[in-house]
Structure 1
Amino acid sequence: MKFALHLLAACWLTFAAGAFAHPPRGIAVAPDGRVFFSDLERIWAIAPGKQPLVVRRSVGAHVHELFLDSGGHLWGEDSFYDPATARYRAGLWMIAPDGRFSYTYGPTGSPTFGAGVLRDRFGCSYLVGETRVRALLLHRLCPGGAPQLLSDRAAARDAEPPVLLSNIGGAAFGPDGSFFFRHRGIVQRLRAGDRLVTAAVGFAPENYGIAVDRAGALYVAEQANRRIVRVDARGRRSAPIGAEAPWAPTGVVASGGALYVLEVTDYARGAPTRLRVRRMLPNGQVQLLGTVTGG
Structure 2
Amino acid sequence: MLAAIGEKLSFTKAAERLGVDQSAVSHRIRSLEDALGHTLFDRTTRRLRLTEIGEILCHAAIDSMASWDTALDKLEHSRSTDLIRLSLSSSLAMKWLIPALPNAHALNLKLSLDVQEETVDFLINDADAAIRFGPGPYPGLHSSYLTHCWMQPVASPGYLGDGVSDAGLLEKPETVFLGDRRGEIDETDFSWDYYFSTIGSRRDGFNPDYQFDRADLMLQAVIGGMGVGLGRTLLLEGDVEAGYLKMVGPSIRMRSGYWLVCASSFAETDRFRKLLDWIKSEIKKIT
Q: TM-score, normalised by structure 1?
A: 0.22
Asked which structure has the greater RCO (Cα within 8 Å, sep 6+), the reply is 2
| TM-score normalised to structure 2 length | 0.23
Greater gyration radius: 2
Higher helix share: 2
